[in-house]
Structures are given as structure tokens and as C-alpha cells.
């Protein structure tokens, strides 16, 4: 009995070892929680900085679109017939008279290509639902078609 008790006592944990294991388990759990919290905070910071960058770029895109629109408006105004005729008169240009026109014939020059010859328009067939008939057949329709109207290869193979 004494021998059995000494064996049990040898395998029993020492109280300070159990306390140490419990403390280390709590410390490990705490480190995991702190690490996950740090990871979450760093990811949130990165996501928010990316979000701010996206907002800045969207504002820049809006500003550039407004600038392009303004420039196009200025170009349309400056190339309008009223403004161009005033500028032409200021530079000393005047409307041409029909007798002042001189046409030169250049050998080998056939003129500008006619775009009517380059573009061939084919009639566009518009289906009601926009899909080809191959894509409008249901699985049940296909199976029924295979049963009632089998392909010729299947019929010849069966003979």
C-alpha cells in the first residue's frame, strides 16, 4: 500500500506546477487576444487610409471632369462662327469672291477616300429577346426533340 501511494504521489502534479500552467495558459490567451486586437486595429487603419485615398481620387476625378467640361465649353465658344469671323477680320482676312478661287490639279492625287465605299452596312437582325434560337431552347425542349426527332447519326447507328 505504501508502494502504491508513493507511485501515485510521484505522478501527482506539484501544486505550483499546476498554478504555473494555469498562469501560462491565461498569459498565452491574453497574448493571442492582444495580437488579434493589434491585427484588427492595423487592418482598420489601412482600410480607412485606403478609403480616404479613394475619396481624394474621386474628388480629383470630379475636378478633372469639370475642368475638361470647362475647356470644351471655351473651345466651342472660341471656334463659334461669330468669334472666328471677328478674329479673321482682325487679322486682315476677308470673305473670298468666286473669281478669286484657283484650283490646282495634282497628278496622281485621287482626292479624299469616299467613306461610303469603305463602310458596307448589312441589315441588322434584331430578335425579340436578343438571343439566338440555340440559347432559348430549354432542357426539356431539347430532350423532347431528341426523343421525337433523333439525329440521323443515331438512327443509322441503330440500324
Tell me: the pLDDT tens digits for 83-108? 999 999 999 998 888 888 888 889 98
Q: How confident is the model at residue 110 (pLDDT cuts 50, 70, 90)?
A: confident
Burial (CB count within 10 angstroms: exposed 0-12, middle 13-18, buried 19+), residue 125 = exposed
Q: How far is residue 77's CA from residue 79's CA, in Å, rounded to a whole number?
A: 6
Each residue's pLDDT tens digit, 18-64: 788 889 999 999 999 999 999 999 988 888 889 899 999 999 999 99
Residues 6+ apart with CB under 8 A from 137: 145
Q: How far is residue 37's CA from residue 41's CA, in Å, rounded to a whole number?
A: 6
Better-predicted residue by pLDDT, 2 or 56: 56
Rg (CA), the chain: 44
Please identify which residue in the block is written with the cell numbers 481624394.
56
Kindly state the DSSP code that residue 14 receives in the 8-state scheme: P
Q: What is the pLDDT of residue 75?
A: 95
Q: What is the pLDDT of residue 76?
A: 94
User: Nearest-CA neighbor of 66 among 78, 58, 77?
Assistant: 58
Q: How confident is the model at residue 153 (pLDDT cuts 50, 70, 90)?
A: low
Amino acid at each position: 500500500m505504501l508502494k502504491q501511494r508513493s507511485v501515485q504521489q510521484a505522478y501527482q502534479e506539484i501544486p505550483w506546477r499546476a498554478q504555473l500552467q494555469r498562469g501560462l495558459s491565461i498569459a498565452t490567451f491574453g497574448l493571442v487576444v492582444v495580437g488579434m486586437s493589434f491585427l484588427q486595429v492595423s487592418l482598420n487603419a489601412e482600410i480607412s487610409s485606403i478609403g480616404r485615398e479613394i475619396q481624394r481620387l474621386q474628388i480629383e476625378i470630379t475636378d478633372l471632369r469639370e475642368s475638361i467640361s470647362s475647356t470644351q465649353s471655351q473651345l466651342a465658344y472660341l471656334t463659334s462662327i461669330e468669334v472666328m469671323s471677328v478674329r479673321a477680320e482682325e487679322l486682315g482676312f476677308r470673305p473670298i469672291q468666286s473669281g478669286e478661287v484657283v484650283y490646282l490639279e495634282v497628278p496622281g492625287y485621287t482626292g479624299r477616300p469616299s467613306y461610303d465605299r469603305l463602310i458596307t452596312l448589312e441589315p441588322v437582325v434584331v430578335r425579340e429577346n436578343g438571343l439566338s434560337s440555340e440559347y432559348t431552347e430549354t432542357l426539356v425542349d431539347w430532350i423532347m426533340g431528341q426523343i421525337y426527332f433523333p439525329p440521323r447519326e443515331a438512327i443509322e447507328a441503330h440500324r
